[in-house]
Amino acid sequence: MTPELRTRLIARIRALSRPLVPRPTALAFRPPERPLRTRTLVFDLYGTLLISASGDVGTTAEDDVRALADALASTGLEAPARALVDALHAAILEHHRHARERLGIAYPEIDIRTCWAAAFQAVTGTIPPQVQLERLAVEYECRINPVWPMPGADVLLAELSQAGIRLGILSNAQFYTPLVLEALFGKSVAQLGFDPALCLWSWETGHGKPSDWLFAELDRRLAPGERPLYVGNDMLKDIAPAARIGWHTALFAGDARSLRLREDDPRVRGIEPDAVLTELLQIKKIIV
């Protein structure tokens, strides 16, 4: 990606983004029995450091079609929006099927650009240049999944970084996710204090959460004996795999849109987070 395109995409993300406010949940702050001893924190992004409004819009086929029609108009690409949405969903399903059956990946992750290319090939018989596909992916994503920084996220990251805490990211994400962070926080991932060695983006690996592979891969990057605190909003995708590998865990219950308790899912049976957070700044109260 050229610097010019990167700058342009960040500008579009900012232009398409609006402030969001988290919705309270029924859970209360629950600290651990004793403060957790760690100098490493690893975060989920969507629903944790970022408010995600995907539960408010983009939940019906008509929402998707309208969003794609607007995205196509913004990028200057021409294709029937409804057919292209259907083809995109079909390409994603086909990628997942192939990864499971041929590659043995239990929880596959896509590179959305590849799926957009397949969708255009199926609908129009041609594939737009990569630059246009990346622009379309951003335009569409910002419309169907609006995001905004969670309250206190910027202050927390700054204070943790200044205190010498190592910061990492393990998140289901796409190529544009680091650009979203830079657009909304005004700083690059590294400038926010994250150690690039501890940032694991699902789209780069082909594995998506709740894959144990992702957590094992990041665990291999830690120093011997290093036990991080992992913070996420989903019992299945975040807390369970982090607990299985032996990390400290904190369930973020700060937004009803994204809190996923998965109480009826047998895969989280017997799993309890070390702490429950309703505000990000509560993290400072549970670690030493």
pLDDT at 241: 98
pLDDT at 59: 58
42-56, 75-89, 153-167: least confidently modelled range: 42-56
- Checking if the pLDDT of 204 tops 90, the result is yes
Exposed (0-12), middle (13-18) or buried (19+): which is 127, by Cβ within 10 Å? middle
CB 29 within 8 A of CB 252: no
pLDDT at 61: 78
Return the percentage of the chain with pLDDT > 90, whole number. Answer: 95
Q: Strand 166-171 relative to strand 194-201: parallel, antiparallel, unpaired?
A: parallel
Report d(CA 279, CA 237) in Å as an integer: 20
Average pLDDT of span 238-257:
98
- Checking if the pLDDT of 57 tops 60, the result is no
Q: What is the CA radius of gyration of the chain?
A: 19
- Checking if the pLDDT of 124 tops 70, the result is yes
Among residues 229, 236, 215, 110, the alpha carbon closest in space to that of 173 is found at 110
Kindly report the backbone phi and psi dihedral angles of residue 234, in degrees, each rounded to the nearest multiple of 5, phi listed first: -125, 120
Average pLDDT of span 14-22:
97
Average pLDDT of span 74-95:
97
Report d(CA 281, CA 124) in Å as an integer: 49
- Checking if the pLDDT of 81 tops 50, the result is yes
- Checking if the pLDDT of 58 tops 80, the result is no
Average pLDDT of span 16-45:
97
Confidence of residue 170 (pLDDT cuts 50, 70, 90): very high
pLDDT at 53: 87
Residue type (1 letter), 89: H
Average pLDDT of span 18-37:
97
Helix ranges (H only) for 56-129 are: 61-75, 81-103, 112-124
- Checking if the pLDDT of 273 tops 90, the result is yes
Phi-psi region of 51 (alpha: psi -120 to 50; beta: other; left: phi over 0): beta
- Checking if the pLDDT of 279 tops 50, the result is yes
CB 12 within 8 A of CB 138: yes
- How much is the mean pLDDT over the chain? 96
Phi-psi region of 35 (alpha: psi -120 to 50; beta: other; left: phi over 0): beta
Q: Residues 6 or more apart from 259 whose CB is under 8 A from it?
A: 25, 27, 47, 233, 252, 253
